[in-house]
Amino acid sequence: MTVVGYSFEEAWISLLRSGRSALVSIGTIAIAFATLGGFLLISVNVQGVLDQWLQAAEMSVYLHDTISESDRAALESFLKAQPAVAAVEYVSRERALERFRADFPELSDVTSGLGQNPFPSAIEVRLRTENGGDAAADALSKEVAGQAGVSDIRYDRRWLARLVGIVTAARLAAGVVAAILMLGAAFTVAAVVRLSLFARRDELEIMKLVGAPFSYIRGPAVVEGLLLGGIGAAVALGVIAILYSTLSRWLGSDLAGYAGIGQLRFLGITESVMMLLGGVGVGAAAGTVASRAAR
């Protein structure tokens, strides 16, 4: 029998023998990985929303009512020539009013009561999202602000950039929390593996005296940690899947609607495999550290 086969067999027997302490260890790992997976799931969906918003990001160049046709045409030509610009569309005051009435029919009385059209004409500029697009768009907005006939500029990406910054910071904080939880889980796994080693101390002593290679002496401890971590991560993945399925059944369409995306998405194959491998890795590392007790 190879050392791998021996280690798996002995580790499995030891897990079954450990009973409650193994369950506690799996539970701790599962909590840590469910937290990480939950953050990952939120992150994946928030990123999807941000990507969509970033792609749809526009710069609105509002024009004075008094702008001449030639100035407007010159401004449009200038914008179309810019590398950061993907498309340009002129929206007249009338078109702006029509849009408002179509988008907010319940507020149409408000505009009727005013007696005149309150909307300015504007040029809507769709920006490119490639690398360097943000810096170029920033420069462009400053340049356009000084052009004749321009009254104001609204640039969506500024607050989106701030939102991306906040999301990145939140992701970092979540990563730190998950890392702390995982460290705690690793300590629990190591403690359980040490308990198993203690329970097998007579066997280990005999193994050493008959000259068993250290891979046979320590292997089962490493594999036990690996199994605890892997099972814990799999349980976490299952819990997240159940929560996701329940939440998306109850609130999925509402949440997707608010976010302006088609539908919420679950973790991809890569993220799921990474989570499982993470569990296996943390468990194996904890098992390896604990196995050093068998000297």
Partner 1 sequence: MIETQSLAKTYGRGMYALKELSLKIDKGEFVFLTGPSGAGKSTLLRLLLLEERPSEGEVMVNGRNLSHLTRDETQAYRRTVGFVFQDFKLIPTKTIFENVSFVGRVLGKPIEQQRQNTYQVLKWVGLQHRLNALPEELSGGEQQRVAIARALVNDPHLVLADEPTGNLDPDLSLEIMNLFRDMNSRGTTVLVATHDRELIKWVGRRVITLDQGLLVGQEPRP
Q: Is 259 helix (H, G, I), strand (E, B) or coil?
A: helix
Least separation in angstroms between CB 209 and partner 1: 6
Residue span binding partner 1 (CB under 8 A) among the ranges 1-9, 91-99, 126-134, 168-176: 1-9
Least separation in angstroms between CB 293 and partner 1: 15
Judged by CB under 8 A, the chain residues 213 through 232 that form the site for partner 1 are 213-214, 216-217
Least separation in angstroms between CB 200 and partner 1: 9
Least separation in angstroms between CB 20 and partner 1: 19
Q: Cα 272 from chain centroid?
A: 13
Specify the DSSP class assigned to residue 65: T
Taking CB under 8 A as the rule, does residue 2 contact partner 1? yes
Where on the phi/psi map is residue 19: left (φ > 0), alpha (ψ -120 to 50), or beta? left
Judged by CB under 8 A, the chain residues 193 through 212 that form the site for partner 1 are 202-203, 205-212
Judged by CB under 8 A, the chain residues 144 through 203 that form the site for partner 1 are 202-203
Specify the DSSP class assigned to residue 122: E
User: Which runs of E-coded beta strand occur in 102-258?
Assistant: 122-127, 150-155
Which lies closer to partner 1 via its Cβ, residue 12 or residue 216? 216
Which lies closer to partner 1 via its Cβ, residue 163 or residue 212? 212
Cβ partners under 8 Å of residue 32, min gap 6: 178, 181, 182, 184, 185, 232, 236
Burial grade of 142 (CB within 10 A; 0-12, 13-18, 19 or more): exposed
* Contacts with partner 1, residue ranges (CB under 8 A): 1-3, 6, 202-203, 205-214, 216-217
